[in-house]
Amino acid sequence: MKSLDDLIPEWRSYAKIEPLYKPLAVGVACLFAAMYFVTALPRILYPYDLDFIEDSMLMQALRFAQGQSVYFQPSIEFVPHVYMPLYTWLGGLIFRVTGPGFWPLRLLSFTATLVTTMLVYLIAYREGKTRWLAFVCAALYLGGYRLSGFWYELIRVDSLYVALAMGGATLGIYVKRPVGWIASALVLALAFFTKQTGLAFAAGVAAYLFLTVRLRATLFVAAFAAFTLIPLFTFDALTEGWFFYHIFRLASGDPVEVGRIFRYLGAELIGGMGGLMVMGTAAAILVSRRARWGTIREGSWLMMLLIAVVVSGVGRSSVGGNLNNLMLVYAFLCLAPALFWREWSASRSQSSTLVAILIVAQFVLGIYNPLRYIPTTEMRQSGDRLIQKIAAVDGEVWVMMHPYYAVLAGKDTSAQIATLWYIHHWQGLPFPEDMVERIRAQHYAAIISDETLFETDPDLQSLITSYYSPVEQLPSSFSPLAPVGMPVRPVIVYRPK
């Protein structure tokens, strides 16, 4: 097979720009890292929703903090998320120190993002043996902020999940002693209790260990089973079966759309992550050409990358799968430059220039204007006015998409309508009896709706409009926008008829 130098004789002329590769790549990496911090830090301190999921995740953490039940029969009081409980349980512990609010949970996600960034650096340095490249790989993860939907520091499980999945894989691959395998099993069990698909990485590490240390890998399998099965069945017994109902039965309710699979493979992987995909694919081809997969160790991170591609694809293919699912595959793809460098640089004098070009191209694919995504003073003032308006209502208020806003105004808690709709729409179950009774009894002095697909569900609209009338449309000055994911803002105020 001809070498690149034979196929493209002109390639040697690029050696003239060889001295530029390091300052170019490092300079762009510093720019994108700075862009992330400039954008993320003000968002952490913003006191209102940036994504509507944040509100219900906060309410779940608050229940853990207050020692209240989380997994029970769906009710107007509360419905938990279909995610595993570790993130909100940790949030509850933090709330006991800081008090409730958005910033403690966002800080948890932000910290997990930094942990992932450091893991990418450590793995890339160990594989590529080059510090500047390891730094650039780490900055690439921060540079994927726009590509994965601006969720890195928001109140979702994904940042913690990615950090734990990569951390558990790192321990399983690099620590060659039983203590490392047990530690890997523990960290991957925590990843599983953050998001169900953590099981895939445990399977990947188990396969790698069976290939490298043979039957001694049973120690990892036994430890992982103990760390997961005992808590799972304990939680389910303590909740009389409702734990499994929420995290397994409801979590599997989203249908799959074939079009989403093609969009994921095309526009998102090959398009948005094209530079990293080229290097990852090239590294896989070069590793596969070895006489021995001696290879098993050299292919370990490529195997983890393949698992991440599949897991993110499964998440994106479901109707409810948003761009946050791309955080996982993008994190593992950020190792691709180091893996490609390791395989190709030894025999190619111009390798550094090509790698730098592909890295800079990948950064460009993720470019954005930070100023567009920093919460404004107007957004904050709009939220303040809304809370004051809710507090002035004589009676209870159900802010259907933002129940924590009612708590901020001194009102009682209620479930988020999105979690109630999920059970009604995908499971075909009636709305909870206590919810129907509250509406019929006109328990709420006001109901505030964002008029999303959740609130405009025909069954819900029929129920609400039988006992309430829309009496006011909120102006933007009283209606803070939650811009990430599905943009929503409070729009209509219903009052009892």
pTM of model > 0.95: no
What are the counts of helices (DSSP H) followed by strands (DSSP E) for the chain?
22, 4
Mean model confidence pLDDT for the chain = 92
Over residues 324-336, the pLDDT tens digits come to 999 999 999 999 9
Q: Please state which of the ranges 233-242, 247-256, 334-343, 366-375 shows the lowest mean pLDDT.
A: 247-256
Q: Which residue is associated with the tokens 């009710």?
A: 75
Domain parsing of the chain, residue ranges:
23-47+101-371, 377-496
Would you state the pLDDT for residue 293?
Answer: 47
Would you state the pLDDT for residue 18?
Answer: 54
**Range 84-90 average pLDDT:** 97
pLDDT band at 152 (very low <50, low <70, confident <90, very high): very high
Considering only residues 190 and 287, tell me which one the structure prediction assigns the higher pLDDT: 190
Would you state the pLDDT for residue 262?
Answer: 93
**Length of the chain as a residue count:** 497
Cα–Cα dist 405/270, whole Å? 40
Neighbouring C-alpha atoms within 13 Å toward the C-beta of 343: 26
Distances (CA, A) of 222 to 192, 215, 229, 430: 15, 12, 10, 42
Residue 185's nearest CA partner among 233, 229, 248, 124 is 229
Is residue 194 a contact partner of residue 163, using CB atoms and an 8 Å limit? Answer: no
What percentage of the chain has pLDDT greater than the value 70?
Answer: 94
**Range 452-460 average pLDDT:** 95
Distances (CA, A) of 406 to 60, 103, 398, 414, 420: 15, 18, 7, 9, 17
Using the predicted structure, report yes or no on whether residue 139 has a pLDDT greater than 50.
yes
Would you state the pLDDT for residue 6?
Answer: 53
Using the predicted structure, report yes or no on whether residue 272 has a pLDDT greater than 50.
yes
Would you state the pLDDT for residue 411?
Answer: 96
**Range 82-89 average pLDDT:** 96
DSSP code for 370: G
Q: What is the DSSP string of 420-459?
A: HHHHHHHH-PPPPHHHHHHHHTT-EEEEEE---TTTT-HH
Torsion angles phi and psi, residue 400, rounded to 5:
-60, -40
Over residues 171-211, the pLDDT tens digits come to 999 998 999 999 999 999 999 999 999 999 999 999 999 99
Using the predicted structure, report yes or no on whether residue 16 has a pLDDT greater than 70.
no
**Alpha-carbon dihedral sign for residues 90, 239, 247, 183:** positive
